[in-house]
Amino acid sequence: MSHSTNDHAHPTSNRQYFTTWCWLLLMTVFALVIGYIHQMPEGIKAALLVGVTLAKILLIGSIFMHLKFEKMNLVMLTFSPLLLAAILFFMTRGETRMQDPTHQVITHLGEELHIEAEHEK
């Protein structure tokens, strides 16, 4: 069995973990404040929340999960779900109200449509 190239040391100290923890808590408070600002335009709110989320997962991934010390090919692999999720999100976006301001696509979620009855008349 081959050994990990970084078996010899994980140089992250408890102090660095504590600093990271502080930053994560600050970012959580920031996200919470954004969540409460209802007057903010949706697009800006979404962008800020996505930004804070990405910053948090970058911190957790690089410091707590030690990706900072891993080989780049493993790091790229771990970010593949983000890329695939983004692709799926943009693929489905075309069917939503975000891209359909006149609401021609699904507008009767959970309600029964009476189109068939009209055709039968």
Residues that bind other proteins (CB under 8 A): 1-7, 9-10, 12-14, 17-18, 20-21, 24-25, 28, 31-32, 34-36, 38, 45-46, 49-50, 52-53, 56-57, 60-61, 63-66, 70-71, 73-74, 77-78, 80-81, 84-85, 88-89, 92-93, 95-98, 105-107, 109-110
Q: Which is nearer to other proteins, 111 or 119 (CB)?
A: 111
b/e map of 2-41 (b: 16 or more CB within 10 Å)?
A: eeeeeeeeeeeeeeeeeebeeebeebeebbeebeeeeeee
Residues in the chain, overall count: 121
DSSP label at residue 100: -
* Shortest reach from residue 111's CB to other proteins, in Å: 10
* Shortest reach from residue 94's CB to other proteins, in Å: 11
* Shortest reach from residue 77's CB to other proteins, in Å: 7
Phi, psi of 84 (to 5 degrees): -65, -40
Residue 53's H or E segment, with its range, is helix 42-59
